């Protein structure tokens, strides 16, 4: 147990616990700062407006789906071949 607790944040164990993604404490802090800056921007923009501002929904990680975010590069199951064909078409013709 001592060896497991002593593993660095970038270890394979930590990536496995985060769906194969590298997610350190630094990343988590930056993610929370970005969320708070969104809130500050909304509150400051709503000053002088009588309607209460709509606060953004907090996502626990960037890859959590909120249903509104358009994700560039996401490929659904069954579309892999079409994605590869598209990417191959972007190559420079020599």
- Quote the pLDDT of residue 69: 59
Q: Which two tokens stand for residue 76?
A: 């659904």
d(CA 62, CA 32): 10
- Quote the pLDDT of residue 50: 78
- Taking only the tens of pLDDT, the chain with its 94 residues reads 777 778 888 888 888 877 778 888 888 899 889 989 988 888 888 887 777 888 877 777 776 766 665 555 566 677 778 877 777 777 766 5
- Quote the pLDDT of residue 92: 66
């Amino acid at each position: 147990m001592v060896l497991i607790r002593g593993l660095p944040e970038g270890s394979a164990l930590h990536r496995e616990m985060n769906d194969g993604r590298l997610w350190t404490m630094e990343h988590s802090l930056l993610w929370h700062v970005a969320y708070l800056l969104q809130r500050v921007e909304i509150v400051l923009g709503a000053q002088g407006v009588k309607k209460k501002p709509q606060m953004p929904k907090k996502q626990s990680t960037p890859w959590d789906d909120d249903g509104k975010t358009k994700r560039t590069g996401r490929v659904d199951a069954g579309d892999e071949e079409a994605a590869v064909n598209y990417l191959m078409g972007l190559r420079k013709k020599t």
